[in-house]
Amino acid sequence: MTGKKKKLAFYSASGCRACDHLLLDLQGEIFSLEQAGEIVFWPYRDGTAWEELPSDLDVALFAGALRTEEDLLAAQRLRDRAQWLVAFGACAAFGGIPGLASLTSAPAEVTAGDPLLPSLTAEVMALEQAVPVDYQIPGCPPTDNLVWAALQALIGAAELPPRLGYAASRLPEPLASAITAGVLPPPGSIFAGEKAVCATCSTFFLRRSFS
Ligand code: SF4
């Protein structure tokens, strides 16, 4: 690889941590990823402290919904430091399962005054309800091929081992073409298929059931 390595941060707010585990599962490719990108901040894997977050971060992947004041502060810090901020997973993109907590008025007073419990925000928020977001990779967790496609685009590493065969068949054509060409898709792009998985499943049993 030539050129300066991109600085990457992965962070999880309020979620189940399976988004972090998806990234860990990609570790074979993550090794390749680290030829082009330097993972400088990943508290879940490395216990990285906020003091180690560079001021000139290139890409921040943010998983989990915003449920606590600490989540909100993390979103603001990463937005301030990163060129591209990505809502990673359904919780960050839409509120996800933690968002169900907004259906009750439970609350802030439950934790208020208890130093052992985190301070809750008034409502559970998706990332873009708190700070501007550049890209989304939805899914619970996102599929590994779509994540890999997004990472290749975001770090400008089209030459890394491709996993676009599956992803390209599900991504909108302009998005797949941009990634294949090593071009960053326009901000606001969503790294997801145009059809739900159920619409493309070829399971014989299901075909028989509905035929
Ligand atoms: Fe867990 Fe799904 Fe939320 Fe990711 S999007 S943190 S997998 S609940």
SS3 for the chain is CCCCCEEEEEEECECCCHHHHHHHHCHHHHHHHHHHEEEEECHHHHCCCHHHCCCCEEEEEEECEEEEHHHHHHHHHHHHHEEEEEEECHHHHHCCHHHHHHHCCCCHHHHCCCCCCCCEEEEEECHHHCCCCCEEECCCCCCHHHHHHHHHHHCCCCCCCCCHHHHHHHCCHHHHHHHHCCCCCCCCCECCCCCCHHHHCCCHHHHHHHC
Q: pLDDT exceeding 70 applies to what percent of the chain? A: 80
Please give the distance, rounded to the nearest whole angstrom, from the Cα atom of residue 144 to the centre of ligand 1.
13
**Residues having CB within 6 Å of any atom of ligand 1:** 15-16, 18-19, 63-64, 89-91, 96-97, 140-141
Q: Choose which residue among 19, 44, 88, 191 to substitute to test ligand 1 binding: the one with the highest number of ligand atoms within 8 A of its C-beta.
A: 19
205 has a pLDDT exceeding 60: no
The atom number, within ligand 1, closest to the CA of 65 reads 3
Q: Whose CA is nearest to atom 1 of ligand 1?
A: 16
Q: What pLDDT digit, counting tens, does each position of 34-91 carry?
A: 777 899 999 999 999 999 999 999 999 999 999 999 999 999 999 999 999 999 999 9
Q: Whose CA is nearest to atom 6 of ligand 1?
A: 15
The atom number, within ligand 1, closest to the CA of 89 reads 5
Please give the distance, rounded to the nearest whole angstrom, from the Cα atom of residue 96 to the centre of ligand 1.
7
Q: What confidence category does residue 172 fall into, taking pLDDT thresholds of 50, 70 and 90?
A: confident
